[in-house]
Every structure is written in structure tokens, then in C-alpha cells.
């Protein structure tokens, strides 16, 4: 359950970039990006924005995946997660 990591890996590989090339741009350790692609670590919002610029994709797309992963990670083991997410969606929709 790591849609951002999968997307980042797909973007990186589609541009034939090595982990080290992307991490040099972000000024982070190669192991951190590797762990993030596998779902073992989370990137900061700022790092996600930087990646969107580096890959030339809309930051909204990557930030949506980042936030989605963050939400899912916090509720995934709760038996009421789906109900709570539905309620939160309803509240967000009514607020807009």
C-alpha cells in the first residue's frame, strides 16, 4: 500500500534515472529514496514538491498520492477505517 513510492519509481525508471541521480538533486541519502519507493519511509511534503519539479509532473498529482498514503497508513488497521474515510469525504464535500 504505497502508491506514491510506486509512482516515483515508475517516473524515475521511465526517465532512465538511477536512485543516486535523483537523490543528488534532492540532497538526500540514496537509501532514503530506496526505502520510500518500497514504502518503508515517508518523504516530506517539500521533498515531494521537489520531486514533482524534477520529474516535470504536476505537484498536485504527487501530493495527492503522498496525502493519500499518509491517511491510509494512519487508519489502515482500524476496523472502522472505511466508515471513517467515507464520513471524512462527506464532511470535506459539504465544506467545499
> Where in the chain are the domains?
3-95
pLDDT digits (tens, 9 = 90+) for 54-95: 999 999 999 999 999 999 999 999 999 999 999 999 999 987
Closest CA to 3 of 52, 72, 56, 54: 72
CATH of domain 3-95: 1.10.260.40
Q: What is the pTM of this model?
A: 0.85
Per the CB < 8 A criterion, the answer to whether 69 and 7 are in contact is no
| Residue 2 confidence (pLDDT) | 65
Please, what is the end-to-end C-alpha distance for the chain in angstroms?
28
Angle at 23 between CA 22 and CA 26, to 5 degrees: 95
Amino acid at each position: 500500500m504505497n502508491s506514491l513510492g510506486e509512482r516515483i519509481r515508475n517516473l524515475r525508471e521511465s526517465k532512465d534515472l538511477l536512485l543516486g541521480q535523483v537523490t543528488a538533486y534532492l540532497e538526500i541519502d540514496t537509501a532514503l529514496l530506496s526505502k520510500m519507493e518500497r514504502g518503508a519511509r515517508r518523504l516530506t511534503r517539500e521533498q515531494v514538491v521537489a520531486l514533482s519539479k524534477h520529474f516535470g509532473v504536476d505537484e498536485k498529482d504527487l501530493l495527492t498520492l503522498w496525502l493519500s498514503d499518509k491517511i491510509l497508513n494512519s487508519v489502515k488497521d482500524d476496523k472502522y477505517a472505511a466508515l471513517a474515510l467515507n464520513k471524512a469525504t462527506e464532511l470535506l464535500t459539504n465544506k467545499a
